[in-house]
Structure 1
Amino acid sequence: MFRPSALPAVTRVQQAGALITAELDARLRRSPDYAAENETLHALAGALTASHTAMLQTLVDTALALCDAGSAGISLREGGAGHASVYRWVAVSGRCADLVGHIIPSDDSPAGVAIAFSAPQLFAYPKRQFDCLARIVLEVTEELVVPVPGTPAPWGALWVMSHDGDHHFDSEHRRILKSLADFTCAALSIAKAKADAETRAVEAEAARNALSEAECAKDNFIATLGHELRGPLAPIESALAAAQKLAAGSPAVLSALAVANRQVQQLKRIVSDLLDASRVRHGKLSVRPAYALLGDIVKDALAAVSDEVERRRHQLHATLPPYPVTVFADAARLTQVISNLLGNAVKYTPHGGVITVQVDAPESGTIPEHDSTPRELVITIRDNGVGIAPDLLPRVFDLFAQSPSARAGAEGGLGLGLSVVKYLVNAHQGQVSISSGGEGKGTEVVLQLPVVHRSDVEHAAPTTHGIQPARILLVDDNADATEALAMLLSLDGHEVKRAQNGPEALSIVETFTPDFALIDIHMPGMDGHELARLLRERGQCASTLLVALTGYARTAGADGGSHGFDCYLLKPPSLEDLADVLRR
């Protein structure tokens, strides 16, 4: 089918008698030289591994040789998509080799006419009909042009020229050029597919890098957000504790403060989840196993949710082994796991609901004395709460995974806790699974932990804040934090001095020798490390216990005295943590 824009050129060459394609079949056909053709096709196959330009040049060299032509070339389409298309001579061989890169019209050219016919065409003296060939110095007695097929449109054309009136093209030359044109189509398709694949690979790599950068930025934001939120929480919690002491005789005030305290604890849990989730993503949430009694761990977890259980009037039933069970685990992290799961059960169970905790473990004393193989502990927590939809179950351990009903019905939460639970359980070489009959049908969580060992461990001492009065120096650039904490400690009978920077703290110790110095690490100007070093150089502070306050993950005593500190506390420090440090 003719392209309408090619009709003038087609009509012109037909009327001039320059289109002599019919003579190809009328001329005496020479015998095919299949041996030479096969050899050149092998060479072409090898050229596929070369560069795009080298491969096309090998093609035109082959066409020149097999057709015994004076010139040969490939014209490929350029432009389109809003721009007028043209043909460029991308590879040329023979007497016209210096014209590589020459551009001809897509319609008023031999290639345009051949493509308009969708078939090979033979032209006599084409220079006389097409102005685009005027740059050829030699006369062109004949030109055989074969379209190079392509999808959705032909790639262009493969052509050979004769500059000698005694050399004419025949049907065998047409057959050879059609074979080479098909090969050209395959080669160009392969090259385009390779280029497209490389482009997609580059785009995919860029997308992966962008996603990685976005994930990193998100993690950094979450970590920074958690760290920044800890700052204001510290003075709020300390101020609430102080207010509760001051309002001991006013039930109405104590009731209001209890509401505020519950909400602060909820905020602390959310902030802790944020920080723990960030540490999980970077593999920095560590466990430090030691021998402990399972009963103490479970009771601490139950105590952590007892206020909410009472407020919601839940029925909480716990069944523990009647004998002592020794575990080799990180007691604090295992308590966190159980209290987190219990907290979810409490949060997602309506008022008056039922929650059960079943603990199954072998008796430590029955394990042979020299058997160090850990036995399995199984903890099952069931509730008759809102349940989990089947489509969410496979994703419950993903970060930020929550069902719409859970978000609507629960108080707070970011969907972070279960991802932290799974990480900590895996760190104990255990497994955690969650099942539910669907929304409104409750939930069951099963923990399987190979942590039971033979060992004799005494029960932990009951927690108390009752400690001997001490001289305490608080150093923090957050004035609210130091004021609230100082008030709370003063109400417990301690003598407290406050400083908002390092130089002020150094001035205070000239006349005040603290038993303990609680120092924020990140302060403008002189930071906590520098202040600790300078305090160590003063003789009056030789016996002072230096405690670092930091918003990042370090546990009390983990530092081992490096950087001048005796131990670290995570901000905001809990009253239990402070009491533990002050007992030293």
Structure 2
Amino acid sequence: MSGSSTLPPPLRLQRAGALATAELDARSRRSPDYAAENEALHALAQALAASDSAMLQKLVDTALELCGAGSAGISLRELASGPISAYRWVAVAGRCANLAGHVIPTDDSPGGVAIALGLPQLFGYPKRHFDCLAHVSPDVTEELVVPICGAQEPLGALWVMSHDDHRFDGEHRRILTSLATFTRAALTIAEAKANAEARATEAETARNALAEAEDAKDNFIATLGHELRGPLGPIDSALEAAQKLAEGSPAVLSALAIANRQVRQLKRIVGDLLDAARSRHGKLSVRPTYTLLGDIVKDAIAVVSEETEQRQHHLHVALPPYPVTVFADAARLTQVIANVLGNAVKYTPRGGEISLHVKAPDPSTIPEHDSTPRQAVITIRDNGMGVPGDHLPHVFDLFSQSNSARNAADGGLGLGLSVVKYLVQAHQGDVSVYSDGEGRGTEVILRMPIVLRSTVEHSAPTTHGIPPIRILLVDDSADATEALAMLLTLDGHEVKRAQSGQEALSLVESYNPDVALIDVHMPGMDGHELAGLLRQQKQCQATRLVALTGSIDTDEIERSAAFDCYLVKPPSLEDLADVLHGTFKQASPETSHTQGPLDDAPRAVNG
């Protein structure tokens, strides 16, 4: 069609006689073949499970066959880079199959006219009136076009062409209209599927980004914890040595006591950081043994006793009148109770009331061959600042604190209860927190199936009691070795220091140590390599090799069998006594790397 006319395409076509739609009703209609239609629709329904292109191709093949046409196709609207839109032949069958992908204008095309009029249209010899059909071969006798309606705007058109004497009638219009309706449904399903897949991809991307952020946070927390452990070691050792040197000077001892309390607080924070990072990855496990619940509770109370006295709290403890044997990780359960007690002390005003009540069955009443664990219920209650109602559901979240807790002088990081929940669940138990609101106190209930019939004796207190020995310290940190060497020397030991593996090898040529304390992570020759070389030295055959590390994990232990045991930095005199006497408690690598709020938890593990 010439572009010189300014009339709208439908009007031009009517004047030119190209629109033959009225003839559809005048022509005699062939009888419907419902059996063929039903078979075709069944095949189309199956095609919905295929790809979008395969489904559209099946539609045009069906239109070609049911309408007896020479060509058939689907034109769908696509937006160009500018404001002008066009139709693309996305699926074509018959004589025009080679023109798949052909683009035609929206206004000056059979599809555009049918969509503009909003009804099916029949065109006679459309190539004479539409330049966009110039590439179609052979000539087109008639073209029947049915608009494909959309929810907001037309999606495109479904069309059939005849290239001979075949004429379309009202029955063909009905069939093509039915197929156009099916096409709309299929395109709607395809669009919904694409949108769902896009949202799923976005959700997956968001989940991956969140996981990466969580991993980055965990790595940062772990790294921060390890980095803080380094300077805390020499500071702790130096303070303990200074306290020995300052005996007889009350003013100095008082100042050192303040520093020592602050260092303990830092150690607890670092322990919580490392515990929180490990608990998120399931690496904070428990290693249960038979022990007495009363001993665990007493150890936990000892952890907070100094602070309780300073704040003049009234601590009421109610234990069963009989010894209760439990199968639990004593160090970790002590950490749990001490952590909850520590929160009660921290958030209860001076002179407040704190109670700890333990309810457990008498193991002697359990039948002899009954190994089913019974439940121990530990309730810790205070009349402190309480928890706001809207914050209760989040008390176990990492870094979760209410505004009042965050503003407290010793607010902490909000890590403790997250670790408590993890460790309680590792004992197959549960923990609940209750509060009537701010200023109305808090109640924490721990329930754990850990009570068994077996009985054990009360544990004996530990003391230093280390006879003078020869000790080799190997650490690339001069401050760490100097502080620990001073502390050990004041305790009566003979100490030699080395700041590298090579220097340590040179020292043992003339020095036969009873114990070698070796930093695992040193530049150049690391602790594992040095331990292996020391094992080859005749003079070190009886030397007890102890690894010093920021944290202990299974991979590190499996890396070298040269070490007799592992200690977490900084090693206390209690740790050294346990190592030398062979009385240190067995612990899994995951349970031994940090104390949380416990300074006296066992920190040694067999290599």
The reply to whether TM is greater than 0.5 is yes
Q: Quick one: structure 1 residues 131 and 545, their matched pair in 2 at CA, closer, same or farther if it must change by over 3 Å?
A: same
Partner residue of 1:46? Answer: 46
Are the counterparts in 1 of residues 149 and 156 from structure 2 also a CA contact under 8 Å? Answer: yes
Report the Cα distance in structure 2 between the residues aligned to 1:402 and 1:87, rounded to whole angstroms. 59
264 and 82 in structure 1: CA distance in 2 versus 1, 3 angstrom threshold: farther
Residues 450 and 160 (structure 1 numbering): CA distance in 2 closer, same or farther, change over 3 Å?
closer
Answer yes or no: is the 8 Å Cα contact 1:561–1:567 preserved in 2.
no
Distance 2:560 2:121 in 1: 88
Matched, 1:36 2:36: yes
Q: Distance in 2 between matches of 1:258 and 1:453?
A: 41
Structure 1's 290 and 100: CA in aligned 2 closer, same or farther, altered over 3 A?
Answer: closer
Q: Which runs of 5+ in 2 are unaligned?
A: 583-607
Aligned to 2:579: 581
Counterparts in 2 of 1:385 and 1:45: CA distance versus 1, 3 Å: same
Letter paired with 1:580: D
Identity within the alignment, %: 75
Query: How far is the alpha carbon of 1:216 from its aligned partner?
Result: 2.4
Looking at structure 1, the residues matched to 421 and 242 of structure 2 have their Cα atoms a distance apart, in angstroms, of 38
Q: CA deviation at 1:474?
A: 0.9
In structure 2, do the counterparts of structure 1 residues 513 and 158 end up closer, same or farther at CA, with 3 Å as the change threshold?
A: same
User: Which whole-Å deviations, capped at 9, do the CAs of 1:160-194 have from their partners, x for residues lacking one?
Assistant: 22333x43322222111111111111122222222
Change (3 A) 1:428 1:162: closer
| Counterpart residue identity of residue 569, structure 1 | L
1:238 and 2:234 matched: no
Distance in 2 (alpha carbons) for counterparts of 1:12 and 1:481: 96
Instruction: State the match for 1:424 in structure 2.
Output: 423
Q: Which residue of 2 aligns with 1:570?
A: 568
Q: Give the drift of 1:528.
A: 1.0
Instruction: Give the equivalent residue in structure 1 for 2:25.
Output: 25
CA separation of 1:531 and 1:155: change in aligned 2, threshold 3 A: same
Counterpart for residue 442 of structure 1: 441
Contact 1:143 1:161 in 2 (8 A): yes
Conservation of the 8 A alpha-carbon contact between 1:30 and 1:172: yes
How far apart, in 2, do the equivalents of 1:349 and 1:289 lie?
A: 32
Deviation at residue 517 of structure 1 after TM alignment:
0.9
For residues 311 and 360 of structure 1, the distance between their equivalents in structure 2, rounded to whole angstroms, comes to: 28
Question: SS of the counterpart of 2:84?
Answer: strand
8 Å CA contact retained: 1:554, 1:569: no
Match in the other structure for 2:595: none
1:73-93 deviation line (CA, Å, top 9, x unaligned): 211111258552111112222
Structure 2-normalised TM-score?
Answer: 0.89
Amino acid at match of 1:227: H
- Between stretches 492-501 and 287-296, larger displacement belongs to 287-296
Which range moved further: 406-415 or 335-344?
A: 406-415
Does the 8 Å CA contact 1:360/1:379 hold for their aligned counterparts? yes
User: How much has 1:212 moved relative to structure 2?
Assistant: 2.6
Q: Residue 140 of structure 2 aligns to a residue in which SS?
A: coil
TM-score, normalised to structure 1, is: 0.93
- 1:113 Cα shift? 0.8
Kept in 2: contact 1:87–1:156 (CA 8 A): yes
Instruction: Describe the shift of the 1:374–1:73 C-alpha distance in structure 2 as closer, same or farther (beyond 3 A).
Output: closer
Q: What amino acid is aligned across from residue 306 of structure 1 in structure 2?
A: S
Shift of 1:302: 1.0
SS of aligned partner of 2:561:
helix
By how many angstroms is 1:106 displaced? 1.0
Residue 505 of structure 1 pairs with residue 514 of structure 2:
no
Q: Which residue of 2 aligns with 1:292?
A: 291
Quote the Cα distance in structure 2 between the aligned partners of 1:12 and 1:355. Answer: 94
Q: 1:336 to 1:163 in 2, by over 3 A?
A: same
Amino acid at match of 2:77: R
The answer to whether the 8 A contact 1:266-1:412 is kept is no
- 3-state SS of the aligned residue for 1:49? coil
- Equivalents in 2 of 1:371, 1:189: separation in Å? 64
Task: Work out the CA distance in 2 between the residues paired with 1:129 and 1:357.
Answer: 95
Instruction: Name the aligned partner's letter for residue 15 of structure 1.
Output: R
Paired residues, number = 577
Cα distance, 1:160–1:504 mapped onto 2, change above 3 Å: same
Rate the CA distance shift 1:72–1:522 in 2: closer, same or farther, 3 A.
same
Write the distance in 1 (CA, Å) between the matches of 2:68 and 2:277: 73
Is it true that 1:346 corresponds to 2:345 in the alignment? Answer: yes
Alpha-carbon RMSD across the aligned residues, in angstroms, is 2.4
Using the TM superposition, give the Cα deviation of residue 549 of structure 1 relative to its aligned residue in structure 2, in angstroms: 0.8
Partners of 2:123 and 2:510 lie apart in 1 by: 110
Gaps of 5+ in 1: none
3-state SS, counterpart of residue 8 of structure 2:
helix
**Does structure 1 residue 85 correspond to structure 2 residue 85?**
yes
Map of 2:592 onto structure 1: none
Structure 2 matches for 1:246-265, cutoff 5 A?
246-265=245-264
What is the letter of the counterpart of residue 99 of structure 1? L
| Secondary structure at the counterpart of residue 327 of structure 1 | strand
> 1:152 is aligned with what amino acid?
Q
1:89–1:323 distance in 2 versus 1, CA, 3 Å: closer
Shift of 1:127: 1.6
Q: Structure 1 pair 127/393, CA: closer, same or farther in 2 (3 Å)?
A: same
